[in-house]
Amino acid sequence: MRHFLTLKDFTKDEILEIIDLGLEIKRNLKQGVFEHHLANKTLAMIFEKSSTRTRVSFETGMYQLGGHALFLSSKDIQLGRGEPIKDTARVVSRMCDMVMIRTFEHSRLEEFARYSQVPVINGLTDSYHPVQLLADYMTIIEHEKTKNLTVAYVGDGNNMTHSWLMLAAKLGFELRIATPKGYEVDAKILAYAYDEAKKSGATIVVTNDPKEAVKGASVVTTDTWVSMGQEDEKEKRIKDFEGFIVDDLLMCLAQKDAMFLHCLPAYRGYEVSENVFEAHAQEIFDEAENRLHAQKGLMVWLDQRR
């Protein structure tokens, strides 16, 4: 049995296999073919943070695969009143066939997985957001940008950045990360990525200069400056991130036909300008839709290995 907690535990071939499976299911869906690979199966979705895309994509995906999804907000279940996560894991995993969790500390997800009898999927933690990267890479494939791929990430060294690091290190492309001073990526995760990069041939560059990161890039991406759980730091962060907006001036430095990706939700005027966002809306909303298709590939793949 396999869990999907970070991309660390997956090989390049496995990551590509999951995305390919998602693409195949997507093609069939567009032809009106519903493949009920998960008939009679249930997915428990535990949310300790808000969500639009993750909830809608997993719930819809499970339905389209012939199964059923349960939306369990921590506000409504006993977990939110202090029932231990390991007890929640032992109960839910006896009744459901798969679990997706969105939570705070990554260790909470790991603890759940340790006690679970069924595959557990990371639906975002403070440290990683790996399902988003499956959708992002699927979008890069569809837009034919995999050749000489150079991704520039501009912004906060957060869960998205850490997942980009894992993806680049595993798949072997160039990733340049520009964060303000004091908002760099986690040193341990970076060290792991450098190590993996030696094997895969990836190039990883970290800088405090957005221009240096974006120059000549084929894909530019960013994320909110204020992640869920950091609301109290909002004012300080907005000051500290000055100069890190992805706007037309910055995008000019990338390749002419560079893509812009954003995991969403996007805050215009902060991490991205309205102009850049709307100019790349097609790519951004392809990326959002691909959450559905990539995660269907993931759920079927995990189910096949139980």
Residues that bind ligand CP (CB under 6 A): 51-54, 124, 132, 263-264
Write each residue from 248 to 277 as x if it is in contact with ligand NVA (CB under 6 A), else as -, in one continuous string.
---------------x--------------
- Binding residues for ligand NVA, rule CB under 6 A, total 10
Q: Could you say which residues in the range 122-141 bind ligand NVA, by CB under 6 A?
A: 124, 129
Tracing tokens 């988003």 back to the chain, one arrives at 132
If binding is defined by CB under 6 A, does position 158 make contact with ligand NVA? yes
* Nearest Cα to Cα of residue 166 among 10, 1, 293: 10
Cβ proximity to ligand CP: between 174 and 222 the closer is 222
CB of 262 to ligand CP, least distance (A): 9
Distance CA 224, CA 270 (A): 8
Alpha-carbon separation of residue 165 from 72, 130, 179, 220, 301 (angstroms): 30, 11, 13, 14, 23
CB of 264 to ligand CP, least distance (A): 5
If binding is defined by CB under 6 A, does position 93 make contact with ligand NVA? no
What is the distance, to the nearest Å, from the Cα of residue 242 to the centroid of all Cα atoms in its chain? 25
If binding is defined by CB under 6 A, does position 295 make contact with ligand NVA? no
Cβ proximity to ligand CP: between 52 and 275 the closer is 52
Cβ proximity to ligand NVA: between 18 and 133 the closer is 133
What are the catalytic residues? Answer: 102, 129, 132, 223, 263, 291
Cβ proximity to ligand NVA: between 129 and 237 the closer is 129
218 CB contacts (<8 Å, ≥6 apart)?
A: 145, 148, 149, 150, 151, 254, 255, 258, 259
CB of 96 to ligand CP, least distance (A): 20
CB of 144 to ligand NVA, least distance (A): 26
- Apex 122 CA angle, 82 and 218, nearest 5: 145
If binding is defined by CB under 6 A, does position 294 make contact with ligand NVA? no
Q: Could you say which residues in the range 208-247 bind ligand NVA, by CB under 6 A?
A: 223-224, 227-228
Cβ proximity to ligand NVA: between 93 and 179 the closer is 179
If binding is defined by CB under 6 A, does position 288 make contact with ligand NVA? no
CB of 203 to ligand CP, least distance (A): 26
Cβ proximity to ligand CP: between 185 and 261 the closer is 261
Residue 52 binds what, of ligand NVA, ligand CP, none (CB under 5 to 8 Å, by partner type)?
ligand CP
* Residue ranges that bind ligand NVA, judged by CB under 6 A: 124, 129, 158-160, 223-224, 227-228, 263
